[in-house]
Chains A and B, each alone.
Chain A
Amino acid sequence: MKKVVVKICAGTSCFVMGAAQIQALEFTPPEDIADKIELVEVRCMNLCKDTTAKYNRGPFVMVNDELIEEATFEKVVEKIREVLKNQCD
């Protein structure tokens, strides 16, 4: 089965918005998804510089091709599980 690619933004503004907590996926991933994900740390994806948005919607995380705004550890894990489930179906 193809691994789910998770890109976590490690840029300054995503980092202060809480990306560090999501990086925990790297070291202490929930058991059920541990070997099914591939984590990639990326630098600023320029999403934080979107001036049309009213406020910063970071931290930004991409799960495969899906963008998660205001990402949290839980939100990302949930999304990964959803993607995995869809892959199985």
Chain B
Amino acid sequence: MSESLFIEVSKEQCQKYGEDCFGDTVYTKKIPEERRIISILSDGLGSGVKANILSSMTTRMAMKFVESNMELLRSSEVMMDALPICQIRKISYATFSIVDSELEGKTRIFEMDNPSFIFIRDGKEVKVKSRELSSPKWKERTINVSQITTQPEDRIILISDGVSQAGLGNKLYPLGWQRSGCVDYILKQIRKNPYISAYDLAHGVVREALEKEVEKKAGDDISCVVLYFRKPRKLLVLTGPPFDEDKDKEIAEMVSLYDGKTAICGGTTANIVERELCLKCEIDKTSFDEKIPMASKMEGVDLVTEGILTLTEVYRMLKEGIDKQKDNAAVRLANLLLDSDKIDFVVGTKINIAHQDPNLPMELEIRRNIVKKIFRILQDKYFKEISVRYV
């Protein structure tokens, strides 16, 4: 397959009730030069701080080894040697699942002791053959290796046993939710929305697992990682009037020529596009909110919002999580960003003098700064491909 894929990776975790840190660790890394993404989920023995140390050590080591393409069996021996040994079970204990994906389509999965990964293609679960490896040194531990040539719309899902065992002890789920219960749930979600994002799916799985638990209290650390392979979805975000008015037309035309979705953030910017392209723009009252100005509707543009307040709120939500109850302009913009893979920002640098007025009841961020924060977090936390152009 020649066209390169984009992989949306997202995780959601919930710690065991009463603990104050995660016993599972998820670590994802993008290596742009190699067009490769590695994602690791490790579950440390027990819970709380001890488990956290075991699982973070495991993910860090595993990442180093996989990244440098070290031979797997050898690497896992080193890892098992390095981890402390459980007194009762006499095993060095932290499980792991590693997904090593190249954007051109080849993906390898290495697993030790976690519930096996879930592979979804064409709305069905597909079983993937795997090879078993075991080290002479640690005979009781085996590693499963599988390989997939990924296609657009494939999904790989990793879960910790906190998901498959959710509900244990609950009369309704004597054996827990089980992997099969989780697969059914995932398939149902995909049937409902074939393009459901990795973010929504990972959050859904953890929420659903928690539902099964007695009193909705997590009996173990619950973690889910979703990798969603797809043709890149492109988004253009135009925000702020250009420094030089001569550029107004050029900026507006970017919107009409773009081969993807488009969003405009800023009243003045919207005015420019409206004027230059002779489009009609109307406020969309369904987005009313007391804190965030309403969005507008403009033909051919996917979303039009106010500028600074909306962007500031979007940044907060990208950091702290999206408000599911609301449907204001900021929530819409944040969802649009998360649903996109390649995002091109065009940032106008003209300063709005009205925003510098010391009498305003609150301080307004400078556009350039807030956009910088947004694209950093989109890159680092959500692994989006970002380009920025200042005009």
Contact = CB atoms under 8 A, between A and B. Distances in A.
B267 A23 contact: no
A41 B285 contact: yes
B294 interface: yes
Given A16-B362, A17-B360, 18 more contacts: A10-B283, A12-B293, A12-B306, A12-B309, A12-B352, A12-B364, A13-B355, A16-B309, A16-B360, A17-B361, A20-B290, A20-B293, A27-B288, A43-B270, A43-B271, A49-B352, A51-B353, A56-B354
30 contacts: A10-B283, A10-B293, A10-B306, A11-B306, A12-B306, A12-B307, A12-B309, A12-B354, A12-B355, A15-B306, A16-B360, A16-B361, A16-B364, A17-B360, A17-B361, A20-B290, A20-B293, A23-B294, A26-B285, A27-B288, A41-B283, A41-B285, A42-B283, A43-B267, A43-B271, A43-B283, A44-B268, A48-B357, A49-B352, A56-B354
B296 interface: yes
Contacts of B306: 10-12, 15
Contact of B293 (A15, A49, A55): A15
B90 interface: no
Interface in B285-318: 285, 288, 290-291, 293-294, 296, 306-309
Contacts of A23: 288, 294
A48 B354 contact: yes
Contacts of A56: 354, 357, 359-360
Nearest to A8: B283
B271 A13 contact: no
A80 B314 CA distance: 36
Nearest to B266: A12
Contacts of B270: 43
Interface string A25-66: 011000000000000011110001101000110000000000
Interface of B: 267-268, 270-271, 281, 283, 285, 288, 290-291, 293-294, 296, 306-309, 352-355, 357, 359-362, 364
B360 A11 contact: no
A17 B359 CA distance: 9
Nearest to A55: B359
A58 to B, nearest CB: 8
Contacts of A20: 290-291, 293
Most buried by B among A12, A41, A55: A12
Most buried by B among A16, A21, A42: A16
Nearest to B307: A12
Most buried by B among A11, A16, A43: A43
Contact of B288 (A11, A12, A16, A26): A26
A11 B294 CA distance: 10
Contact of A13 (B281, B294, B296, B360): B360
A55 B354 CA distance: 9
A44 B291 contact: no
A40 to B, nearest CB: 8
A24 B357 CA distance: 26
Contacts of B362: 16
Contacts of B290: 20-21
A44 B270 CA distance: 10
A10 B353 contact: no
Closest 3 A-B residue pairs measured CB to CB?
A: A43-B267, A41-B283, A48-B354
Nearest to B354: A48
Contact of B309 (A15, A44, A49): A15
A21 B355 CA distance: 20
Contacts of B296: 43
Contact of B357 (A13, A15, A41): A13
A26 B288 CA distance: 10
